[in-house]
Amino acid sequence: MLQPSFPLLVSDLDGTLLTDQKRVAPETVAALVLAREHGMALAIASARPFRLIRAVIDPETLALFDAVIVSNGAAILSPDGTRILHEDALAPSELAALITHLRARYPDAGFGWESGTEFGSDRRLLELAERGGVLRDPHPDRVRALPESPAHQLVLAPGDGLPRDLIEAIRGEIGDTYAVTDSLGGVVEISPARVTKADAARVWAESLGHSLARVVAFGDEHNDLPLLRAAGLGIAMGNATPEVRQAADRVTDTNMNHGVARALRALLGQDNATPLPRFEKNS
């Protein structure tokens, strides 16, 4: 059996493993099965919390993975969600200070926080989510002015405009202690700077006796950049943003044309697999 040069796979979810219809295509499932048969260990790395990952991946497909990295790296869970393999949370006092500061700067914004397996929010984010376009699930029973427990991630939903347009300004407001990103979920995502998909992938890889140099990573958006740059082989989707494509080692097809499946088959030396074009990774 051919042994893969990269025994670990870490893949983004939305725009990468998932089609635009929010499902994992049969072609991609077949490629993941093939990767496992060749001895690869698999992990998902998503901005989504676990409950929203489970909402778009059926249990049989989720069981193909060895780990699930959630909230842009704030926690690593077992694929059934019953075990926390790694966690890095923000304290309630820190969350309160961030929200108070940013609420004064962006009075029309709504704030939410991923605490354990539930999502809490202020009333403004609940209102914005009801309009649509916010990939979170606030509920009236979980509305608070400020969080009362630690959280994996703080999110800010702008009253107007796009989250991406606020990233640099918010970074300037809260400093480099925090990572500020956007994954097209309708919110700005804020975590400790030490929390990224790359850091979580490193923790997972080391738990298996490997380094990031042995990881092949797939992604398409801004929050995937640290992972694609740090992995031994970073592969951007054909639908990725220009910045992500330039940061990757190679570019595969789009999520709608089974880009992950095509890349995996090429890496595993399967017949009729088209080699991926090579790119010089930006330093």
For the structural domain made of 8-87+195-267, what CATH number should be given? 3.40.50.1000
Residue among 83, 80, 51 at smallest CA distance from 65: 80
Question: Among 83, 175, 157, 85, which residue's Cα sits nearest to residue 119?
Answer: 157
The partner residues of 216 in beta bridges, in order of sequence, read: 9, 233
Range(s) within the chain of domains with CATH label 3.40.50.1000: 8-87+195-267
The predicted model gives 257-273 an average pLDDT of: 86
Task: Please check the confidence at residue 185 and state whether its pLDDT lies above 90.
Answer: no
Over residues 10-44, the pLDDT tens digits come to 999 999 999 999 999 999 999 999 999 999 999 99
Per-residue pLDDT band for 283 (boundaries 50, 70, 90) equals very low
| pLDDT, tens only, 85-135 | 998 889 999 999 999 999 999 999 999 999 877 899 999 999 999 998 898
What pLDDT digit, counting tens, does each position of 46-71 carry? 988 898 899 999 999 999 999 999 98
Whole-angstrom CA distances from 282 to 137, 217, 226, 248, 265 are 37, 16, 12, 8, 25
Long-range Cβ contacts of 254-258 (<8 Å, 24+ apart) = 255/15, 255/16, 255/17, 255/18, 255/19, 255/20, 255/220, 256/19, 256/20, 258/25, 258/27, 258/28, 258/31
Banded model confidence at residue 272, pLDDT cuts 50, 70, 90:
low
| Comma-separated ranges of CATH 3.30.1240.10 domains in the chain | 92-192
pTM of the model: 0.79
Question: What is the band of 179 on the pLDDT scale with cuts at 50, 70, 90?
Answer: confident
Which fold does the domain 92-192 belong to in CATH?
A: 3.30.1240
What's the rounded Cα separation, in Å, for the pair 181 and 222?
A: 7
pLDDT category of residue 77 using cuts at 50, 70 and 90: very high
- What are the residues whose beta carbons fall under 8 Å from the beta carbon of 149, sequence distance 6 or more? 92, 115, 116
pLDDT tens track for 209-261: 999 999 999 999 988 999 999 999 999 999 999 999 999 999 999 999 999 99
Q: What is the rounded CA–CA span in Å between residue 163 and residue 74?
A: 20
4 pLDDT band (50/70/90 cuts)?
low
Determine the pLDDT at residue 280: 42
